[in-house]
Amino acid sequence: METVHTENISIRTHSLSNLWRTAERGGYPAALWRLPRASEKQLIIDLSSEDRRLKADLEELPAGFAISPFLNPEGEQTRFLRADLYFSFDAEETLIAEEITASADFWRIQAFEDDADDDSEDVPEYHLKPIPMDGNAGSEREKFEEAVRQAVTEMKLGAFQKVVLSRRKWVELPARFDHVAAFHRLCETYPNAFISLVSLPESGCVWLGATPEVLVSQDHQGMFRTMSLAGTQSATDAQQQPVSLEHARWSDKEIEEHALVSRYIIECFKKIRLREYQESGPKTVKAGNLLHLRTDFQVDTQAVNFPQLGTVMLDLLHPTSAVCGTPKSSALRFIEHYENYDRSYYSGFLGPINIHNESHLFVNLRTMQMEGDQAVLYAGAGITENSIPEQEWHETEMKCQTLLAALAL
């Protein structure tokens, strides 16, 4: 990352919570994340307060954090947060690195500093008394199951092979719900997930999530990775005992649903005539309270001399058949007609770009959008010809539980 290290510009050491609160108070966009299996927690703050929308070009962009809506025509609606300030903390929340990029101007840094020094506001407690607001759950369920029935009918007529249908669930947050404490809680509960907290002042919303799905990742050695993740079952059996990964059984419906996503990824490689990918799987993996089928894909971009592969694949992959369907255009048309609501950033992608020469973008799943004392959770399920509406609804309920149970909401 490009940095300025002069004696007179340096952010004094503050706690993670204090930095986050200062960013929120000042109306600065901010993103806090923890990569899967990592202990380091990273925070960036964009001091421009600008609602910057662009195409996520991993070769061109400075260090920052991208968050894309599900609907992103030509990819140009990706919201980009520039890393004017960057902080990294270890598992004990000790500051281990801080950087100020050349783009940040001195006066804004000073104003930020002064505000961060004003620590008058006491740290909110982490209350755990939720008030579920699913008064309209009945009609939500009817609408969702009706859409599943419609999709099955259309698939039997050959209109498409798979569509991913989603729904929302509303929850009232406890008084003074602490976003950063909730982020830490998710980090502890889900060590294998990508945990993120993103504050977007222009919309007044903060997004919190724990996703298991990599969309595009390119590390500092030029290793490109993506995955197909589809097929879902509970990680516990009827007696609430954990299902061992070796003993998990998958139905033909789930195997087919998963295969469609893998085939979609391979088609993307074919479009760019790339044959040198390694494929491994499918295997059963645990994602919190759920099990999924996963196939991993990997390409050594240095060996194939294709450094821009991450950007090219991002363009081709999103939205994959894991969140949209097959074929993409018919599935999308069906979603737009039957879901009847804006998915916003749910099932888009998000993650750090060019932070220490790495970019890691994940599908925005197991996520909730918080605005004031309300939260909206989003969850979807892959529908094929053999789907049973009640089971698909149950799957979305389990997916909502990934966040609700961990946060005791």
Ligand X SMILES: C=C(O[C@@H]1C=C(C(=O)O)C=C[C@H]1O)C(=O)O
Residues that bind ligand X (CB under 6 A): 164, 166, 213, 229-232, 292, 322-323, 365-366, 379-382, 399
Tokens coding 409: 């909401």
CB-based contacts of 137, cutoff 8 Å, min separation 6: 169
Task: Cite the beta strand spans of 263-389 per DSSP E.
Answer: 278-287, 290-300, 325-326, 349-353, 359-363, 367-371, 374-383
Spacing of C-alpha 35 from chain mean position = 11
Looking at 136-279, list the stretches that DSSP marks H as alpha helix, in order from N- to C-terminal side: 137-156, 179-189, 252-271
Nearer to ligand X, 81 or 164 (CB): 164
Residue 211 CB, nearest approach to ligand X (Å) = 8
Report which residue's Cβ sits closest to ligand X: 382
- Compare residues 55 and 292 and give the one whose CB is closer to ligand X: 292
For ligand X, the closer CB: 18 or 233 = 233
How near is the Cβ of 111 to ligand X at its closest, in Å? 39
Q: Is the CB of 31 or the CB of 335 nearer to ligand X?
A: 335
Q: Least distance from C-beta 273 to ligand X, angstroms? A: 27
| Minimum separation from the CB atom of position 68 to ligand X (A) | 15
Q: How far apart are the first and last CA of the chain?
A: 38
- Smallest gap from Cβ 95 to ligand X, in A, equals 33
- Choose between 14 and 366: whose C-beta lies nearer to ligand X: 366
CB of 122 to ligand X, least distance (A): 36
Dihedral sign, Cα of residue 249, residue 292, residue 279, residue 163:
positive
Output 229 or 370, the one with its CB closest to ligand X. Answer: 229
CB of 153 to ligand X, least distance (A): 19
Helices (H), strands (E): how many in the chain?
8, 20
Is the Cβ of residue 301 or residue 387 nearer to ligand X in the bound state? 387
Our CB check for ligand X shows the closer of 82 and 399 to be 399
Closer residue to ligand X, CB minimum distance, 66 or 365: 365
Nearest to 155 by CA among 63, 74, 257, 65: 257
Taking alpha carbons only, the member of 355, 368, 353 closest to residue 399 is 368
Residue 284 beta carbon to ligand X: minimum distance, rounded to whole angstroms: 12
Q: Which is nearer to ligand X, 30 or 208 (CB)?
A: 208
Quote the least distance from Cβ 400 to ligand X, whole Å. Answer: 9
Residues 6+ apart with CB under 8 A from 378: 166, 167, 168, 169, 343, 346, 347, 367, 368, 369
Is the preceding peptide bond at 212 cis, omega within 30 degrees of 0?
Answer: no
Angstrom distance (rounded) from CA 14 to CA 45:
14
Count the alpha carbons within 13 Å of 223 in the hemisphere toward its beta carbon. Answer: 7
Contact 21, 28 (CB under 8 A): no
The minimum distance between CB 130 and ligand X, in angstroms, equals: 21
Contact criterion met (CB below 8 Å) for 89 and 41: yes
Q: What is residue 84's DSSP assignment? A: S
Q: Which long-range contacts (CB under 8 A, 24 or more apart) does 6-9 make?
A: 9/100, 9/106, 9/109
